[in-house]
Structure 1
Amino acid sequence: MSGVLEKIGQTQDKWFVFLDKLESRMHEICTAAVPEIREVFEQDRDPYKRAHGHLLMGLRGQINQMRSKANEVREEKIFQFIDGITSELPGHGFFTGSHDRLYTFRIACINRHNLFEEKIAFYMSLLNNAAGEQDLEAAYQEQLQAFEAIRDQFSCKQCAGQMTIPDLFFIATYVTCPFCQTQNTFIPSTGAQMVLHQARSLAEQRTAHLLKTYEESKPKNSLLYRQYLRSMFDEWNKIVPDMAEENEKFYQRLLQDHLNSINHY
């Protein structure tokens, strides 16, 4: 048992150190790139800012390579390791010390990887916003086009049947194979995941003119604000329809807060 526990501890330490190194490299690349991104953006006379776009694309590519490498190592060094150790342990429950330690190890490694993904999201946002306000509409349309290009290129892990992803998902989602009914996990790209985090900001960009109209009204016209708020949430729900029910509750709270502020005044 001591040998198993030692292997688990060593594997966890190596996994953590590996992600630490990736994050350090990511930090170096991104912090060094921010001044260059701003300079290229300001000097790029192309109305489409293609030089700036190409620079960002290259930097995103480096981060995505780190993400892919982390996923490969997680599969080979963590998940396959867990499968191998589990097959060597007696019984199938989690009542022995080894099983308990293995379960704790699995959770710790997954949580550490989730933190790594959060760092990726942070640095992607840092790069995207380095030159000022990001064109979220362009980024969103880019993700839609990327998804359309790959939605039919998936195969079932069980029967290898060709699958079509029905919608652009923003979080890991189970997709059922139409041939053998196996549940396949679809993991969206980092860019697609960022859409979820940026959806409200994009909706606000789309409806900024309505907010400006309200702010310029004298005296302040409450109806104009309510029109803006409703339109902003409608756009938000178009971008991430799966969040519509939750967003509607949020909308009602903001609307009530606005009404309360009027009544209080």
Structure 2
Amino acid sequence: MFGLFGRKYENPALIAEISSRQERWFVFLDKLEARMQEMTAAAVPELQRVFREDTDPYKRAHHQMVQGLLGQVNQMRNKANEIKDDNIISFVYAAESTIPPITSSAGLAYHGKLHTFRMACLNRHFIFEEKINEAIELLKNAAGEQDLESAYLEELAAFERIRDKFSCRQCGGNITIPKMFFIDTYIACPFCQSQNTFSPSTGARMVLHQARSLAEQRTAHLLRNYEESRPKNPALYRLYLRAMFDEWNRIVPDMAGENEKFYERLLSDYSINHL
């Protein structure tokens, strides 16, 4: 036994298996997240419709629909946990029992590879769990007058928690996401320059769709000032419109260019209709 471990130890099959398992794990979670995103994106407007139209004061139809959707999300969570335990954690323990001890140079290297694999898979699972929690909150809060400000702040906090937890799929180097994105975006690895795809959470994507509504909530007092003016004061409307678009641009700065074109159209239409 000692003679075996004293010789140069190589196990290409284990290296290949580590790489294959990690790739399959990432693809599996990508597919689960895509399915969850599709489900929540379709469910939110339907939940809002059911809530509005349900005459039951206890909103039992809406509650049952939410519970059914939450059950589907939790099934995805349970499936991911099952795969993680069976194909990641158990695999690591079994592999560690077949390689040289960590006290040897060969053993140290292979134990290090297994540790890196385990942490990469657990980190990816952590991101998945964040998205699961965001989907649950999204479904729970879909109906009625939404507190968009709190939801936005929660997304900012969630992003800060995960922005440093990504690894390059090519070299494994740490990648920090420079800012909050709302659509799939390529991020270059600072070490090998490989392009990695960053996919925002469902909640972050919802920020993009809800940005105007949030901006309107923030500036509603200015719109009321205009609507209550007698006669209607165009200067107050222009003040509201500019403030609303400024807030919209602060929430999703990447859309500022398109938003400004939209602002100019609305301002022009208002000026034509109120000559």
Q: Same fold (TM over 0.5)?
A: yes
- Cα 1:260–1:127 change in 2 (3 A) is farther
Matches within 5 A, 1:21-36: none
Q: Alignment partner for residue 209 of structure 2, among 176, 179, 197?
A: 197
Letter paired with 1:128: N
Amino acid at match of 1:244: A
Cα pair 1:143 1:192 within 8 Å, conserved? yes
Is the 2:70–2:139 Cα contact (8 Å) retained in structure 1? no
Once the two structures are superposed, residues 130-185 of structure 1 have per-residue CA deviations (whole angstroms, 9 ceiling, x without a partner) of 2x210100000000000000000000000000110001100000000000000000
Q: Is the CA contact 1:173–1:187 (under 8 Å) kept in the aligned structure 2?
A: yes
Secondary structure of 1:184's aligned partner: strand
CA, structure 1 residues 252+62, in 2 after alignment: closer, same or farther (shift >3 Å)? Answer: same
- Which residue among 179, 186, 189 is the counterpart of 1:174? 186
- List structure 1 segments (4+ residues) > 4 angstroms apart after TM superposition: 56-62, 64-70, 123-127
* 1:160-239 correspondence runs (5 A): 160-239=172-251
TM-score for the superposition, normalised by structure 2: 0.54
Q: In structure 2, what is the Cα distance between the partners aligned to 1:63 and 1:187?
A: 19
Aligned partner of residue 170 in structure 2, secondary structure = coil
1:67: how far off? 9.7
The one-character-per-residue Cα deviations of 1:176-228 (angstroms, maximum 9, x if unpaired) are 00000000000000000000000000000000000001000000000000000
Shift of 1:129: 3.8
For residue 128 of structure 1, report the CA deviation from its aligned partner: 3.1
Tell me which residue corresponds to 1:136: 148
Letter aligned with residue 199 of structure 1: A
Q: Secondary structure at the match of 1:175?
A: strand
* Match of residue 7 from structure 1: none
| In structure 2, C-alpha distance between the alignment counterparts of 1:57 and 1:158, rounded to whole Å | 40
Please say if residues 60 and 124 of structure 1, whose CA atoms lie closer than 8 Å, have aligned partners that are also in contact: no
Cα root mean square deviation, aligned:
3.8
Q: What residue ranges of structure 2 are gaps of 5+ in the alignment?
A: 1-30, 81-135
Paired with 1:207 and 1:158, the residues of 2 have a C-alpha distance of: 46
Question: How many residues are paired up?
Answer: 172
Residue of structure 2 equivalent to 1:254 = 266
Amino acid in the other structure paired with 2:223? L
Alpha carbons of 1:211 and 1:139: their partners in 2 closer, same or farther (altered >3 Å)? same
Report the Cα distance in structure 1 between the residues aligned to 2:174 and 2:253, rounded to whole angstroms: 26
| Contact 1:147 1:168 survives alignment (8 Å) | yes
Alpha carbons of 1:167 and 1:58: their partners in 2 closer, same or farther (altered >3 Å)? farther
